[in-house]
Amino acid sequence: MAPALIAALAASLAAAAGAAPPPGAASSGAPPPPREPYVAPADGSLRDTIIIGRPVRHAAARDSSVTSVVMLGTGTPNADPERSGPCVAVVVRGHAYLVDAGPGLVRRAAAAAKNGIAALAPQRLGIVFITHLHSDHTVGLPDLMLTPWVLERHDPLEVYGPPGVRNMTTHLLAAYSEDIRVRTEGLEPSHNDGWQVHAHENTAGVVYRDSNVTVTAFAVPHANWTYSFGYRFDTPDRAIVISGDTRPSDAVVAACHECDILVHEVYSAERVASRPPEWQRYHAGAHTSTTELAAIATRAKPRLLVLYHQLFWGTDDAGLVREVRRGYDGAVVSARDLEVYR
């Protein structure tokens, strides 16, 4: 291993294991690792696995010794059958940490497990960080609470999220209380802990830490939500930032600060003009256009910018990437469900 790479690894290990860093602090002490060239896929054949530095196929995606980002859902409230609701999995050493619970996530996780990422087998989904309580980000929560339990998850689901998330999980359990009673009191073999939920209400700052990750929440501005968060994951070998839903925000720039992967929501600056004026007003206060994201990414300097939660309005992945590239010369890709990034 090259000395520079060892130094970078040691620095990120120390940052991940050390005292609670503010967003961005982990990469501000030591010089950033040398940038590897990003090789964009020349055709569709590598869409399933896109790697910083070099593209590899699924065999390498199975390597659980490093961090992977798996797009379990890139969608929006639009019921696009090709795109499940928002859910990003950060997989570190065979453990999956989910961000958001959009509709369809458990089945997408099962598909990723079939592709060789064992950490995403449904019964192994045990922890989720919710960005905000908009329904498109939480309609999959009862699925995540109950389906893995039915499939033999033994432990309670750990849910981190903004104030209000405990109320949501409590009411969801109440809504399914009869299902839980029948499954636990009847003849179905079941474990009596797997349906339970430990809800943790975040404020900004470090919200979770174990031997794989330090997770830092940062507040982002999103329409009239009182609480909306992005999350930064510091792992032994990567810094990953997920924007959640946000209009352009310095908080994202500070949280990324030359991070490895910035997963950011986006809408088409070209096509927004086709929307009714009242919706244009909403999107300007709630979300980030391609033009605005180009400016954010230029300042944040991620090694790879990944677009998700895309609002296309008639354009496509290539169109969004073209729009972003007008103002940003770094590596950028518009994600589809089940793609993997490192």
Q: In the complex, which residues of this chain contact Zn ion (CB under 5 A)?
A: 134, 136, 245
Q: Residue 254 in contact with residue 231, Cβ under 8 Å? A: no
Residue 187 CA: distances (Å) to CA of 173, 174, 181, 182, 184? 21, 22, 11, 9, 8
The residue among 153, 75, 68, 149 whose CA lies nearest residue 116 is: 68
Select 134 or 257, whichever has its Cβ closest to Zn ion.
134
Residue labelled with tokens 């946000």: 246
Select 39 or 204, whichever has its Cβ closest to Zn ion.
204
Select 134 or 183, whichever has its Cβ closest to Zn ion.
134
Residue labelled with tokens 């009862």: 142
Smallest gap from residue 76 Cβ to Zn ion (A): 6
Select 212 or 228, whichever has its Cβ closest to Zn ion.
228
Rounded Cα distance, 269 and 13, in Å: 39
Smallest gap from residue 228 Cβ to Zn ion (A): 7
Q: Is 136 a catalytic residue?
A: yes
Smallest gap from residue 266 Cβ to Zn ion (A): 12
Smallest gap from residue 128 Cβ to Zn ion (A): 15
Smallest gap from residue 292 Cβ to Zn ion (A): 16
Cα-based torsion angle of the residue sequence 223, 295, 291, 306 in order, rounded to the nearest 10 degrees: -80
- Tokens representing 206? 């470090």
Long-range contacts of 272-279 (CB under 8 A, 24+ apart): 272/313, 274/313, 274/314, 275/313
Select 153 or 222, whichever has its Cβ closest to Zn ion.
222
Rounded Cα distance, 234 and 212, in Å: 8
Q: Which residues pair with 219 in a beta bridge?
A: 229
Catalytic residue, candidates 100, 136, 237, 245? 136
Q: Catalytic positions, please?
A: 136
